[in-house]
Amino acid sequence: MLLMYKKTLHGHLEIICGSMFSGKTEELLRRLRRAQIARQKIQVFKPKIDNRFSENHVQSHNSSRILSIPVENASEILDKVENNTRVVGIDEAQFFDEEIVNVAQSLAFRGIHVLVAGLDLDFRGVPFGPMPQLLAVAEDVTKLSAVCMVCGEPASRSQRITQSVESTSNDQVVVGASDCYEARCRFCHEPETIFISNKQQVHFHTVTHEGGNEKNAH
Ligand code: ADP
Ligand code: MG
Ligand code: ZN
């Protein structure tokens, strides 16, 4: 006998967070590709401000990419989600206004599987934009770590660096990749922009982190 199943859609919200280079975009792309394999219609959004690699793609530091729609603000996402979309991916969520929290929630209530990736901390190590609220209301949270470029331990922070002293900025938002940032652990991270004259010459040292935040112990 042929049984007919009527699937009920269970919308939910998943967050992927961590420092720069921790693999957030790679993980977002992996989950989106699984949805495509399951023949679910996906739509991917990112804030217009993130044009580092491409205007129309979400792209990882490893050059893996997927087509995406650039949007000016969070509510534009609601306008652009189509009726038959089952999965919505949003990258660089930290750059959105607080409205992103309502947008993510209302999509989930509509039965959509919402995947959001973003930096949990800014370059100073302070919670970034709407991320704390998103993390609080999500059903599932994945926190990834990168590799600390000073000591090789797991990195949770994004160190802002400059290779020319004149270009130092303390704005919360400076869009860039390995030219402006490197991953660092809590002990090696410094909450201001630091000058690195030649990035190629960075070597891992053996570091003992005992005794608290002793920046010059190594
Ligand atoms: P995110 O979106 O979190 O910034 P991506 O997914 O774009 O990260 O890129 C992750 C990739 O970055 C890794 O797979 C690796 O190839 C590369 N990478 C560069 N520097 C580091 C680092 N310090 N730690 C870990 N991965 C790094
Ligand atoms: Mg990314
Ligand atoms: Zn470190």
Indicate whether 89 pLDDT > 90: yes
Q: Which of 163, 160, 146, 151 is closest to 188 using CA atoms?
A: 151
pLDDT of residue 197: 76
Backbone phi and psi for residue 159, each to the nearest 5 degrees, phi listed first: -85, 125
Kindly state whether residue 47 falls inside one of the protein's structural domains: yes
Please tell me the pTM assigned to this model. 0.89
| Domain, as residue range, for 51 | 12-144
Q: Of all protein residues, whose CA lies closest to atom 21 belonging to ligand 1?
A: 21
For the chain, the domain total comes to 1
How many whole angstroms from 211 Cα to the centroid of ligand 2?
Answer: 33
What is the pLDDT, as a whole number, of residue 216? 38
162 lines ligand 1 (CB under 6 A): no
Residue 192 lies in a domain: no
Is residue 197 situated within a structural domain?
A: no
Residue 54 pLDDT grade (very low, low, confident, very high; cuts 50, 70, 90): confident
More confident residue, 127 or 197: 127
Q: Could you tell me if residue 20 is inside a domain?
A: yes
CATH number where 113 lies = 3.40.50.300
Domain assignment present for residue 34? The answer is yes
The predicted structure's pLDDT at residue 167: 60
Those residues with Cβ within 8 angstroms of residue 40's Cβ, 6 or more apart along the chain or in another chain: 86, 87, 113
Q: Which amino acid residue places its CA nearest to atom 10 of ligand 1?
A: 23
Task: Indicate if ligand 1 lies below 6 Å from the C-beta of 146.
Answer: yes
pLDDT digits (tens, 9 = 90+) for 115-136: 999 999 999 999 999 999 999 9
